[in-house]
């Protein structure tokens, strides 16, 4: 795998065996392709050999809970009012009778497949190929100034992508939209724009862009994303 001077990143929306993974690639911040598969190894091959991604952002837990409690990153998100899944221990995930945590086990397989070529991020700024965990709801919350709702998630997330100059024509499902939003987070981190990290490296970071918003006029309006400064915040 060889990298060119062109920056390519991938965002991945995790899913169980039935739904599978959905991935969207951005090249220099613009839509560059997509891929869907239930197989972690197939997706890893696409990221490395086909699209040649330098940074990969994944909507799936990168670590299990060591004690059954929410990980620090999840507790910090919830303390800020950002609802999220709480990762269980691996034993609990395996023992669940309905495969409720199957999408997390799929995410584990993907992180393991990527590890040799794209190790898990443990520091910012990013200095080489790598991957990290992200979360579309938290991305939306940050880029919209704390205004993110599940009921309007498709419209809100599409608006953010459109504002970033990403073509929506091929993003025909919420899974693809979420993958593209993860790719936007990967692009922001890869080029050194401001990011916020939840948690700590040992139990897994969740990394999201740190945005600023403005409102037009005296009444409540739709938030508009400002340009992000080229520094990073942990």
Q: How far is CA 163 from CA 157, 193, 222, in A?
A: 10, 16, 12
Q: What percent of the chain has pLDDT over 90?
A: 84
What fold does the segment set 8-225 form as a domain? Nucleotidyltransferase; domain 5 (3.30.420)
Q: What percent of the chain has pLDDT over 70?
A: 88
Question: Any idea what DSSP says for residue 115?
Answer: T
Q: What is the phi/psi pair of residue 148, to 5°? A: -145, 125
Give mean pLDDT, residues 166-174: 97
Query: Under DSSP, is residue 36 helix (H, G, I), strand (E, B) or coil?
Result: strand
Give mean pLDDT, residues 83-105: 94
pLDDT in tens, 116-130: 999 999 999 999 999
Predicted confidence at residue 86, as pLDDT, reads: 94
Query: Under DSSP, is residue 59 helix (H, G, I), strand (E, B) or coil?
Result: strand
pLDDT in tens, 192-218: 999 999 999 889 999 999 975 333 333
Residue 17 in this model has a pLDDT that exceeds 60: yes
The model carries a pTM of 0.89
Residues in the chain: 234
Q: How far apart are CA 150 and CA 84, in angstroms?
A: 11
Predicted confidence at residue 167, as pLDDT, reads: 95
Contact present, 140 and 156 (Cβ < 8 Å) = yes
Give mean pLDDT, residues 58-62: 97
Give mean pLDDT, residues 129-136: 98
Of 7, 42, 46, the closest CA to residue 27 belongs to 7
Q: Which of 26-30, 70-74, 160-164, 227-231 has the lowest mean pLDDT?
A: 227-231
Average model confidence (pLDDT) across the chain: 89
Domain ranges within the chain, ordered by starting residue: 8-225
Q: Which residue has the higher pLDDT, 99 or 64?
A: 64
Structure tokens, 201: 């490296």
């Amino acid at each position: 795998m060889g990298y060119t001077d062109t920056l390519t990143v991938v965002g991945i929306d995790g899913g169980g065996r039935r739904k599978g993974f959905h991935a969207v690639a951005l090249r220099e911040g613009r839509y560059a392709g997509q891929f869907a598969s239930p197989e972690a190894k197939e997706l890893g091959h696409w990221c490395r050999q086909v699209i040649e991604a330098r940074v990969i952002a994944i909507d799936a837990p990168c670590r299990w809970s060591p004690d059954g409690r929410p990980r620090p990153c999840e507790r910090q998100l919830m303390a800020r009012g950002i609802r999220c899944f709480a990762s269980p221990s691996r034993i609990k995930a395996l023992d669940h009778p309905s495969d409720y945590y199957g999408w997390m086990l799929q995410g584990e397989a993907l992180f393991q497949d990527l590890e040799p070529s794209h190790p898990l991020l443990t520091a910012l700024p990013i200095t080489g190929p790598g991957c990290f965990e992200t979360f579309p709801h938290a991305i939306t919350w940050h880029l919209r100034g704390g205004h993110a709702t599940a009921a309007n998630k498709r419209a809100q997330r599409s608006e953010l992508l459109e504002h970033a100059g990403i073509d929506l024509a091929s993003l025909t499902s919420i899974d693809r939209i979420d993958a593209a939003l993860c790719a936007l987070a990967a692009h922001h981190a890869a080029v050194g724009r401001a990011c916020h990290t939840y948690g700590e490296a040992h139990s897994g970071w969740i990394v999201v862009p740190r945005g600023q918003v403005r409102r037009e006029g005296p009444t409540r309006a739709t938030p508009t994303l400002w340009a992000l400064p080229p520094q990073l915040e942990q």
